[in-house]
Amino acid sequence: TVADGDGNATDAAGLSQLAYDPAATAGAGRNLGETQAAQDAALTIDGLAIHRATNSIDDAIPGVTLTLKSLTATPTTLTVGADNSSVATSVAGFVTAYNGVLATLTSLTKYDSTTQTASVLTGDSTVRLSQNQLRPLIGGSLGNGGRYDTLSAVGVSFQADGTLQLDSAKLQAALTTDGDAVAQLFAAAGNATDSLVDVTATSANTQPGNYALNITQFATRGTLAGSAAAALTITAGVNDTLSATVDGISTTITLAPGTYASAAALAAVIQGKLNTASEFTADSVGVTIDGSSGTLNVTSNRWGSASSISFAGNAADALFGSAPTAVTGVDVAGTIGGFAAAGSGQKLTGATGTPVDGLALAISGGALGARGNVSYAKGIAARLNDTLTSILGRDGMIKASTDGAQSSITDLGKQEVTLQKRLDQIQQAYYTQYTALDTLVSSLKSTGDYLTQQLAALPKFNNNSNN
């Protein structure tokens, strides 16, 4: 094979037939032709242009995966709706479960007047207290200010015998009108009056209430700004290696040598190599250009104090200058209901031991200072869970009753042992007395027999004798 001064193959023999250099001419390093150039998938959703390296897109619409199959110039309408059937099934299961519990309690506590036979737990105070707690909970009002605050409002009502009955048509109407309000009737839920604040989590320790939110610091991302315009010429072994540490994770990338057309083109290559590094997750960083100075600016896609960026390697100074400015991100800070809260990135979580313990809020923007209110209420299912925990839990009512009964059994067992010992002592005393008495009786009998014999041996006198 003969090569020209650029190192490009000049013939079509052997492996040179596979040579492909887009910048070369045919026969001088380009013996293959490109039939189709690789390209990203491109689509528009509600006017927002989206580009992805795959035809399966799961991050454009939350909870929706789009599979692109063909090109179209005509907009296609995608309708996303709530699946109410699963909610209706869950509510029906709730009704069935409650009726099952009621049937069990009734069976264990009923009294058959015909046979005058009592059940196992007839008259038991623990069962009676449990029943007294469950019925008001199921039939009462949440008072949470929502569209639906009672079960009867969504088609679940009590019958004459105390069981629950589900009106499926009424439930479906409620779900169609406001499915979120139906969900809040059953589950624990939080809401914020500020559209840039989302309730992301609660805990078993979060207390229902309405809490004022105050933000004193917004979360920021780690950044690094170059101090000099980036060098566009990359030379192998001179300024082609960049060691990056992003959010505490490190990797090393190598840039292809050559002169890049613009700082923007160089920035795109650096961003692509960093985001496809095996150590990083996709879209870990964003690399932009300062239009006035031509410097490179890098921003981590993570929020908070764990977000930071630093570079080393022989390309660091060439790309970012000798004195780049690196700024570590900060966490959001503020209070919830006047109580201390801990920031982690954009998430603000109520402190342990406070009424807002475990209440987590995502703060995505807005202004510092007062940010409206955050409300938290427990739905029927959440309250039922708390009540059942108080009844069935490790320190619950049934455990206390069981422990009390077991303690009584233990005490009775101890009393039985003590009484048995006492009875054994009394028995032994009686046995000793009876033995002594038997000995005495035997002795007395012997004495009596002896006296009888002696009396029988005495001379007999005749009163009629003349002597």
Amino acid letter, residue 220:
T
Cα–Cα distance for residue pair 128/377, rounded to 1 Å: 28
Token digits of residue 400: 């206390």
pLDDT of residue 396: 66
How close are the terminal C-alpha atoms of the chain, in Å? 183
pLDDT of residue 461: 65
Mean pLDDT of 56-64: 83
Asked if pLDDT for residue 6 goes beyond 50, the answer is no
DSSP string, 172-201: HHHHHHHHHHHHHHHS-EEEESSTTEEEEE
Ranking 216-225, 270-279, 342-351, 415-424 by mean pLDDT, the lowest is 270-279
Cα–Cα distance for residue pair 430/427, rounded to 1 Å: 5
pLDDT of residue 5: 39
Q: In this structure, is the dihedral angle defined by the CA atoms of residues 122, 123, 125 and 129, taken in order, positive or negative?
A: positive
Query: pTM of the entire structure?
Result: 0.59
Q: Quick one: pLDDT band at residue 27, thresholds 50, 70, 90?
A: low
Asked if pLDDT for residue 133 goes beyond 50, the answer is yes
Please check whether residue 238 is in contact with residue 266, taking contact to mean a CB–CB distance below 8 angstroms: no
Question: For strand 333-336 and strand 325-327, is the pairing parallel, antiparallel, or unpaired?
Answer: unpaired
Mean pLDDT of 323-336: 95
Q: In this predicted model, which residue has the larger pLDDT, 204 or 322?
A: 322
pLDDT of residue 252: 93
Cα–Cα distance for residue pair 52/282, rounded to 1 Å: 12
Please check whether residue 188 is in contact with residue 91, taking contact to mean a CB–CB distance below 8 angstroms: no
pLDDT of residue 4: 42
Q: In this predicted model, which residue has the larger pLDDT, 311 or 11?
A: 311
Please check whether residue 53 is in contact with residue 272, taking contact to mean a CB–CB distance below 8 angstroms: no
Name the residue among 391, 377, 376 with its Cα closest to residue 336: 376
Q: What is the mean pLDDT of the chain?
A: 83
Mean pLDDT of 88-111: 85
**pLDDT, tens only, 136-170:** 777 777 765 567 878 888 888 888 888 889 998 99
Ranking 272-281, 328-337, 355-364 by mean pLDDT, the lowest is 272-281
pLDDT of residue 135: 77
Instruction: Tell me which H or E stretch contains 132.
Output: helix 125-139
**pLDDT, tens only, 373-382:** 998 888 777 7
Please check whether residue 193 is in contact with residue 145, taking contact to mean a CB–CB distance below 8 angstroms: no
pLDDT of residue 50: 80
Name the residue among 28, 40, 31, 20 with its Cα closest to residue 3: 28
Cα–Cα distance for residue pair 352/358, rounded to 1 Å: 7
pLDDT of residue 8: 46
